[in-house]
Chain A
């Protein structure tokens, strides 16, 4: 099946720093990628839809200036958490849609962000 690689798997940073998370589709082209965040024992909450070559679409309540998304190629989307604060600590997961399919999304392995 299709593989989505997400890096890093875990990051610990100081408050005020920026953190970049990469999401790559390894064996397929993904015109659309989605970024989710998940708090412990809670559901995945969609943050934004990343479209190759255009601006990301953010869900209501998600600050686009804080969570910068870039989808410069058909295989790479990045999420940058700018000026991270402890409340941004969460599990971030990307997913990619295989072009031409109307079914499942493929998920990355997730990034556990801890802001001190």
Chain B
């Protein structure tokens, strides 16, 4: 299986930037996903990386380094509605199954 680690909690102020790191160990890496999950709701897709580098999508960016088993999600211009749990998920092999990290709870303060 995969060993996916990410910080438990992070706090930032409105308008600031926060970077959520994720490290993983897998034998057959086939993509890394970031999802946002509000309490009691289903996860919603944020980003997908399969090649090294930075993927930018509006206020959110995601970076991947396959050689280091490392990714980060960058949230810019934080808004109160960004307070949520952010899940790092790794796909191993070709069966489309995802293994999730425990999630990072981000709290945005005014």
Contact = CB atoms under 8 A, between A and B. Distances in A.
Contacts, number: 51
Size band of the interface chain B makes with A = 20 to 34
Contacts of A102: 31
Contacts of B41: 109-110
Contacts of B98: 34, 46, 105
Contacts of B33: 104
A15 B40 CA distance: 23
Given A32-B96, A103-B31, A103-B48, A109 B87 contact: no
Nearest to B47: A104
Given A42-B102, A43-B101, A104-B48, A97 B96 contact: yes
Interface residues of A, number: 24
Interface of A: 6, 32, 34, 36, 41-46, 49, 91, 93, 97, 102-110, 112
Interface of B: 4, 31, 33, 35, 40-45, 48, 87, 95-103, 105
Given A32-B96, A36-B100, 19 more contacts: A34-B96, A41-B102, A41-B105, A42-B102, A43-B87, A43-B102, A44-B43, A44-B87, A46-B99, A93-B42, A104-B33, A104-B45, A104-B48, A105-B45, A105-B96, A106-B45, A107-B42, A107-B43, A110-B40
